[in-house]
Structure 1
């Protein structure tokens, strides 16, 4: 056992008494100025207090925004606004630039409103930009027909919800936009003009010349180079000639007779002999 150094515990004030452990009692001093008094609440935890010393008290959570939890089972969200449901369709457009041309496409997915707005915008642009080229005249109608598939897919979707921004405004229907109206004017002219031309042609078409038969009487309202023979009653004063013979190979008309135009023969080759009545 080590011996304490000389003078340990000795001094002008006498030896140090052994350390006494204070006993609790009615007049015992509190352990320290920061001790917790009976019946008081514990002080709030300091920045270095252990987290487990003061467990968090349960309380109401802050409300979450509507787009924080998207609908389940709706597939990928819209590429424009993030709303669901969305259809994975591709909208196309075309530009004819006289010598060159451009094929445009914008793949989805799109929600109902954003898809409809994209379809109407690209189809409207194609209606007035897609005709300015020799091949574009045929490609533009094909492009517009292709866009009918995505349009039908967008119309089958439910109302969009759960996005990070509002959907696009679809705007006016395609047929109410100026490019569509410009296309409808020539389309209506073609739709109305073709039947009108057919009806006018039927009304003013030249009647087929009559096929003359032996014994009929006719009158000529034209000249002999451009005959216009009209069948007339033989008892009428207006009758000028009687069809006396239908010429065949090797036959000839009598002296003083006239020859009818072959168009009155029925086959474009047969001639008739016309005998003057006076």
Structure 2
């Protein structure tokens, strides 16, 4: 009778698990087709839904996961670089990756003519994986601890350093319009006979502003325009510069009100 060959070194007998490979526990409520509880799965996770994929989180091995891809962008003046990290990811690891790559894109992605247009698209594209990851439950059953999601994007210095100047640029135009409206209130050119003005500057650098004649700030009244030969201002009157007359070529006579 022949004797069986001795077991080979480095091999393990039987169909069971490797002696150095711990089984992953079965998922709650998981049953085989015949109704019996599902047996432990060795070397991979047993997914409960198609969303979880064939394996757990790519980073830590936890479930549940979302099979999604996170994008980043780097502008390098003339060149550009597209970045991506593909899942599946659990909630915590995925949020950490989305926040890190989006924060780096916010301050690295604008340095190039084409990158100015690509960077906003990349940031908006990351909203989809961010929303899917946020809807996942807490990660469990991983081989290692999940990543710390970290601070939200709007609380990170790299993102704030870019968002603040962008906000200032966005507000610059309406602020300039408001300053022009408020600062230009009371200014009219050319001056007309009968109007009252005040001089916000000195006579070497006139800054004539139209105001109500009954106002306490009114200083001069426009009496005539020097628009014809022989026309002159009366004694004691001042002469406004040409730029305050019709066409910017006519002087005006200003009578002091006090």
1:116 deviation in Å? Answer: 0.6
Cα deviation code 1:42-91 (max 9, x no counterpart)? xxxxx99xxxxxxxxxxxxxx95447554523541322233222222210
Question: Distance between the aligned counterparts of 1:91 and 1:128, measured in 2?
Answer: 17
Distance apart, 1:92 and its partner CA: 0.3
Q: Name 1:55's counterpart in structure 2.
A: none
| 2:80 partner SS | strand
Name the Cα RMSD after superposition: 4.4
Whole-Å Cα distance in 1 between the matches of residues 188 and 82 of structure 2? Answer: 54
Rounded to whole Å, the distance in 2 between the matches of 1:229 and 1:111 is 67
Paired position in structure 2 for 1:31: none
Equivalent position of 2:48 in the other structure: 72
Shift in alpha-carbon separation, 1:242–1:116, aligned structure 2, 3 A: closer
Q: Residue 174 of structure 1 is aligned with which of 128, 142, 153?
A: 153
SS at structure 2 position matched to 1:185: helix
Partner of 1:111: 90
CA distance in 2, matches of 1:72, 1:155: 19
Q: Secondary structure at the match of 1:101?
A: strand
Compared CA separation, residues 64 and 202, structure 1 to 2 (3 A): same
Contact residue 109 and residue 119 of structure 2 kept, 8 A = yes
* Residue 162 (structure 1) aligns with: 141
**Residue equivalent to 2:189:** 209
Q: Which runs of 5+ in 1 are unaligned?
A: 1-46, 49-62, 248-252
Structure exhibiting the larger radius of gyration computed from Cα positions:
1
When normalised by structure 2's length, the TM-score is 0.57
**Per-residue deviation at 1:210?**
6.3
The total of aligned residue pairs comes to 202
Q: 1:81 aligns with which of 41, 56, 60?
A: 60
Q: State the secondary structure of the residue aligned to 2:149.
A: coil
What is the CA distance between 1:143 and its match in structure 2? 1.1
Aligned residue for 1:150? 129
Task: State whether residues 188 and 210 of structure 2, in contact with CA within 8 Å, keep that contact through their aligned partners in structure 1.
Answer: no
Per the TM alignment, residue 205 of structure 1 is displaced from its structure 2 partner at its CA by 1.9
Match of 1:136 in 2: 115
Structure 2 gap segments, 5+ residues each: 5-21, 27-39, 234-239
After TM superposition, the score normalised by the length of structure 1 is 0.54
Cα 1:272–1:218 shift into 2, 3 Å: farther
